[in-house]
Structures are given as structure tokens and as C-alpha cells.
């Protein structure tokens, strides 16, 4: 039934508690009456009968109130009627138990208190006033009827003073009860508001987790699953009731060591194969990190994963399309590059076949044929090196030694105006194939020297670089460390490269040199990528060029 009230604070729950308190008070008054009131006093029989009648009325009123409470709609009126009835009963008890000497006058105090609880300030002051009037009336009637003499009350006591003391005491009780009731009400309202906010937040959390398009799994510190959202069920084909309590790697067997690595303070990201009985083979993108409690202490792990099977398939299709497109473009460029030497060879042979051709001219034409054949041979050799590089056999290479070896070879062809400067760190140790690394360095050194026809400075350096840190990674869960790298820099102070040309330097067969094949830098780029590295060029016309190569560092190379 709805808890209707026109007075703040009057609620059905409070009325039930007050009714229970009234019943306890009635039993206490009965016990007090049986043990202390009118025992062995002459002429007290009639007063005792009336006293017990008042107690019976108190029990009756309490019983009727308890029975009527569930059906009562206007709780404020109901509570006021109980308040008046209780004051009347207590006043009767005071009168029939001796008036000024009655033990029951203290019952006005709890009545005033529960009036403050039900009705706050107005109810408390009204109860104090009514109780004072009821107590004064009981004193006056007891004095007039001789009840005080029967029960041995204090004769000659100043009743007005006694009544005044009780009235002031009840007023103070009303004041304190009002303050207490107000504080209790405000605390209850704040608690109810907090409960509502908490319930709303919990519902929002549950709806958010259930609405996620990613699988969400939490585990305890031992790796046993504690929650499993609906999307996780959809992706894995495993019901929540079957997954909770299982080991994480039992449900996601393709993620070995993910929780252990996240326990080390790293946020783990990986792509794993998943083979479910109900869903078949899939690819999942998974991220795992530490789950912390409200105090910041680790209480388990949290893993989020998505089905990226379509993405993996798209990447494979895109890679295949790119390879086919590159093969088509490379074939067209190769045919164009071969056509020119073939045209020169064909033309020279046609001239030499003419009757009466000049031997000296034929000799010059034959030189042309041989030169173009050599050009074709070099072109095909460069093409094969670019298209089918030799299988790399990476080793731990001290870059200072490799740079020194390349510079020894370069010394014989170094232009007189080119000055070489090196700055190679002793701890720069790369994981690379020695032959292919020297080929890369040789190509870059020759390009740098050719870019300085008037002479200049050729710089060659190498250093160990720290793993990059993402912004905000210094939080409670650090980002997983990237592998260490070494960076090789080849720079020159030559003519530089324009922006339009810089965009095409890695295109096969693109060159600005007369005798160049256009496969040098593409081959360098291909070798670096095959080693899991990266290549970046910075250049400005008239200021020079810098080529930066990053290669994986050998284990133990970190400082």
C-alpha cells in the first residue's frame, strides 16, 4: 500500500516502529504497576482498579492501532490520534497512581520523542504542550480527589512548581527531539539518495557491460573467470555459467601468458587464433591489464577481445591485391627499361648487316651492343636482387665494425672533396644479416657521395634508441614495452632532394641519374623491411639529405 502523508516524516515504517515502542511501554508500565503501585495501602483498591483499567485501555488502543495501520491511508491523522490517546492514557496513569508522587510521569518523555520523530518540530512542541496540560490536569484531579493522599505522595508540595519543572523538561525534550529527528531525517534522505545513485550506477554499469560489442572477461588473482559478458558468450560460443570459475586460458587457449605479462604491470595487446567448437576458427584481438580495487591494489585481471576474423581476411586480400598491383607496375617498368637497350642493340645489328659496312663503324656499333648487353645484365641483376632478395640470416652485429668495413671499401672510390665523419656508439648492436646490411650501407654511402659533386661532409652514425612511450603511460598500468632498436644515420651536405622527388625515391626504376637503374633505394627499403625495421628520409634542396634506418637491436643491447 502506498505510504501517503501530508506531513514530512510520517511514513508507514515509522508508524510500525512507534506502535511497537508503545507496546513495549505498555508492558513496562504494567510491570511497574504490579510491583510498586498501591501495594498494601488502605483505600487504594478503587484507584488500582482504575489504574489497571487505564493500562488495559493502553493495550487495547495499541492493538487497534496495529490492526488498523495496514489499512490506513492518512498516516498523519492516524499518528495524531495515537499521540492524543497516549497522552490521555499516561495522564490517567499519573492520576490513578498518586499524581505528584506517580512513577508514570516519565512516560511523557518518550511520547514527546516519538512525536518529534513523526511530526518533527510542530509535532514535538504540540506533544510537549499537551503532555504538560495532561500532567497538570492529573495533578489537580489527584489533589482534589485525594488520590495523592492514598498513595503517599509528597504532601504540601508546590504543585505549580512541580508542574513547571515538568513542562520545561518536556519543552527541552521537544527541542532536542526535534533536532535529533531532523538529523535522522536528513541522514535517511542522504542515504536513500546514495542508494538511488548507487542503484542507478550499478544498472548503468550492467547495461554498459551487456551492451558492449567486445567480449569482456574479469578474473581473480589466480586467473579464474569471475565475469563473462554476453558478447564474450557470442564470440566464444560458451555460456556464461560454463565459463565462470574456469581458468582463463581454458576458455581462451590462444592467449598463453597474457595474464602473467599483465601482472608485471604491462598492458598486453595481441592477436590470437581461436578455435571454438560452436563458432569454428576465428581470429581475436585481445587486450589484458590488471584489475584494481577501490584502494588501487591488484584484485585480478581484465581482458577485452573482439572478433577480428573479417579484418584479418581483409588484410590478407589487401596484401594480395597490393602484391598483384606492384607486380603489374613492376612488369611494366621492367619492360620499359629493357626496351631501350634492346632498341639500341637491334639498331646496331641492323646497321652492321648492311652490305659494304665500314669496319671501323661496325667496331663502334659492336661496342654499343656490348655496353647495352652489360646494362641489361646489370638491370636484370638489380631486378632479381630487389624481387627475390637472398634469405636473411640475422646475427648480432656490432655496428662499429660493420661501418668500418664499409668505409674501407669506400676509401678507394671516395671523391677527393668528400670528408667522412663517423659517430658510432659502442653498444649499438643490431640483429641483421651481415651481407645485406653492408649492401644497404654501401648503397647509402655511394648515394651520399654522388649527391656532393663539389665535395662536402658525409656523416655516418649509429646509436641505441629507447622504446617509445605512449602519452599517459605512466599510470597504474604501463604500456607494454616495444623492442629495442638501433638507429643508423647516413647524412650528406649535398644538393638535397625536392619534395616532389622525395615522394618517389622508393618507386622501382625511378631515378634522376643517367646511369642509374632506379632499384638502389627500393632494394635498401626492401631489405630494411624484411629485417623488421623502418626507413625515413629527411632532405631539403641545397642543404643535404639524412637517411635514418631503424633495425631491431640484439638481445642484451639495452643499456
Distance CA(429)–CA(482), nearest Å, equals 17
Is pLDDT at 367 greater than 50 in this prediction? yes
| Per-residue pLDDT, 369 | 74
Q: Which of 256-265, 268-277, 340-349 has the highest mean pLDDT?
A: 268-277
**170 vs 173, 182, 453, CA distance in Å?**
5, 18, 110
Q: Tell me the per-residue pLDDT of 217-261, one tens digit each, with 9 for 90 and over.
A: 888 888 888 888 888 888 888 888 888 888 888 888 767 677 777
**133 vs 22, 128, 137, 302, CA distance in Å?**
21, 9, 6, 69
Instruction: For residues 423-428, give the mean pLDDT.
Output: 87
Q: How many CB atoms lie within 10 A of CB 32?
A: 17
Distance CA(400)–CA(125), nearest Å, equals 96
Going by pLDDT thresholds of 50, 70 and 90, the confidence category of residue 154 is low
Name the average pLDDT for the chain: 76
Is pLDDT at 79 greater than 50 in this prediction? yes
| Per-residue pLDDT, 428 | 87
The CA angle 308-310-316, to the nearest 5 degrees, is: 105
- Phi/psi-derived region of residue 537, left when phi > 0, alpha when psi is between -120 and 50, beta in every other case: beta
Beta carbons of 96 and 47 less than 8 angstroms apart: yes
| Per-residue pLDDT, 47 | 65
Greater confidence (87 vs 378) lies with 87
| Per-residue pLDDT, 481 | 44
Q: Which residues pair with 432 in a beta bridge?
A: 395
| Per-residue pLDDT, 409 | 82
Going by pLDDT thresholds of 50, 70 and 90, the confidence category of residue 337 is low
Q: Tell me the per-residue pLDDT of 449-486, one tens digit each, with 9 for 90 and over.
A: 888 888 889 889 888 886 544 333 333 334 344 457 89
Q: Which residues pair with 268 in a beta bridge?
A: 288
Going by pLDDT thresholds of 50, 70 and 90, the confidence category of residue 9 is very low
Distance CA(440)–CA(433), nearest Å, equals 11
| Per-residue pLDDT, 3 | 40
Distance CA(168)–CA(132), nearest Å, equals 9
How much is the pTM? 0.44
Domains of the chain (ranges; CATH) run: 12-192 (no CATH), 213-307 (3.30.450.20), 314-387 (1.10.287.130), 395-469+480-552 (3.30.565.10)
Going by pLDDT thresholds of 50, 70 and 90, the confidence category of residue 357 is low
The kind and range of the H/E element at 299 are strand 298-307
Q: Which of 53-57, 195-199, 342-346 has the highest mean pLDDT?
A: 195-199
Amino acid at each position: 500500500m502506498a505510504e501517503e502523508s501530508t506531513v514530512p516524516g510520517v511514513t508507514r515504517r515509522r508508524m510500525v516502529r512507534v506502535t511497537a515502542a508503545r507496546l513495549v511501554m505498555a508492558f513496562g508500565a504494567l510491570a511497574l504497576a504490579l510491583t510498586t503501585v498501591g501495594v498494601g495501602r488502605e483505600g487504594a483498591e478503587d484507584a488500582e482498579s482504575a489504574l489497571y483499567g487505564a493500562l488495559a485501555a493502553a493495550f487495547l488502543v495499541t492493538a487497534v492501532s496495529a490492526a488498523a495501520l495496514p489499512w490506513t491511508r492518512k498516516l498523519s491523522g492516524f499518528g495524531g490520534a495515537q499521540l492524543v490517546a497516549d497522552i490521555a492514557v499516561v495522564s490517567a496513569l499519573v492520576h490513578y497512581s498518586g499524581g505528584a508522587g506517580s512513577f508514570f510521569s516519565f512516560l511523557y518523555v518518550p511520547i514527546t520523542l516519538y512525536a518529534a520523530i513523526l511530526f518533527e518540530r510542530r509535532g514535538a512542541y504540540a506533544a510537549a504542550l499537551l503532555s504538560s496540560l495532561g500532567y497538570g490536569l492529573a495533578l489537580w484531579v489527584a489533589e482534589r480527589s485525594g488520590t495523592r493522599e492514598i498513595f503517599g505522595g509528597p504532601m504540601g508540595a508546590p504543585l505549580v512548581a512541580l508542574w513547571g519543572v515538568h513542562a520545561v523538561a518536556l519543552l527541552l525534550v521537544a527541542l532536542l527531539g526535534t533536532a535529533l529527528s531532523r538529523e535522522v531525517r536528513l541522514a535517511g534522505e542522504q542515504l536513500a539518495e546514495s542508494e538511488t545513485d548507487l542503484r542507478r550506477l550499478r544498472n548503468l554499469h550492467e547495461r554498459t557491460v551487456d551492451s558492449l560489442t567486445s567480449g569482456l572477461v574479469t578474473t581473480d588473482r589466480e586467473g579464474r573467470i569471475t565475469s563473462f559478458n554476453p558478447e564474450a558468450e557470442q564470440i566464444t560460443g560458451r555460456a556464461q555459467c560454463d565459463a565462470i570459475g574456469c581458468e582463463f586460458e581454458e576458455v581462451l587457449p590462444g592467449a598463453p601468458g597474457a595474464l602473467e605479462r599483465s601482472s608485471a604491470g604491462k598492458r598486453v595487446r595481441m592477436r590470437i587464433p581461436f578455435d571454438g567448437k560452436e563458432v569454428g576458427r576465428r581470429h581475436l584481438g585481445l587486450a589484458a591489464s590488471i584489475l584494481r580495487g577501490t584502494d588501487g591494489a591488484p584484485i585480478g585481471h581484465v581482458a577485452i577481445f573482439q572478433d577480428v576474423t573479417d579484418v584479418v581476411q581483409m588484410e590478407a586480400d589487401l596484401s594480395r591485391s597490393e602484391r598483384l598491383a606492384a607486380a603489374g607496375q613492376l612488369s611494366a617498368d621492367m619492360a620499359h627499361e629493357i626496351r631501350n637497350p634492346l632498341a639500341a642493340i637491334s639498331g646496331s645489328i641492323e646497321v652492321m648487316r648492311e652490305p659494304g659496312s665500314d669496319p671501323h663503324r661496325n667496331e663502334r656499333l659492336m661496342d654499343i651492343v656490348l655496353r647495352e648487353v652489360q646494362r641489361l645484365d646489370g638491370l636484370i641483376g638489380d631486378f632479381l636482387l630487389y624481387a627475390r632478395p637472398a634469405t636473411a640470416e640475422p646475427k648480432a652485429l656490432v655496428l662499429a665494425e660493420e661501418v668500418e668495413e664499409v668505409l674501407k671499401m669506400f676509401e678507394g672510390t671516395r671523391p677527393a672533396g668528400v670528408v667522412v665523419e663517423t659517430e658510432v656508439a659502442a653498444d649499438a648492436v643490431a640483429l641483421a644479416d651481415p651481407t645485406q646490411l653492408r649492401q644497404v650501407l654501401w648503397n647509402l654511402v655511394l648515394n651520399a657521395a654522388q649527391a656532393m659533386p663539389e665535395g662536402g661532409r658525409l656523416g655516418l652514425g649509429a646509436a641505441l634508441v629507447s622504446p617509445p612511450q605512449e602519452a599517459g603511460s605512466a599510470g597504474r598500468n604501463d604500456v607494454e614495452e616495444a623492442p629495442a632498436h638501433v638507429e643508423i644515420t647516413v647524412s650528406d651536405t649535398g644538393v638535397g632532394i625536392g619534395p616532389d622527388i622525395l615522394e618517389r625515391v622508393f618507386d622501382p626504376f625511378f631515378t634522376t641519374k643517367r646511369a642509374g637503374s632506379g632499384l638502389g633505394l627500393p632494394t635498401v627499403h626492401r631489405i630494411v623491411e624484411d629485417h623488421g625495421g623502418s626507413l625515413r628520409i629527411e632532405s631539403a634542396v641545397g642543404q643535404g639529405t639524412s637517411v635514418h634506418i631503424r633495425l631491431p637491436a640484439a638481445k642484451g643491447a639495452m643499456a
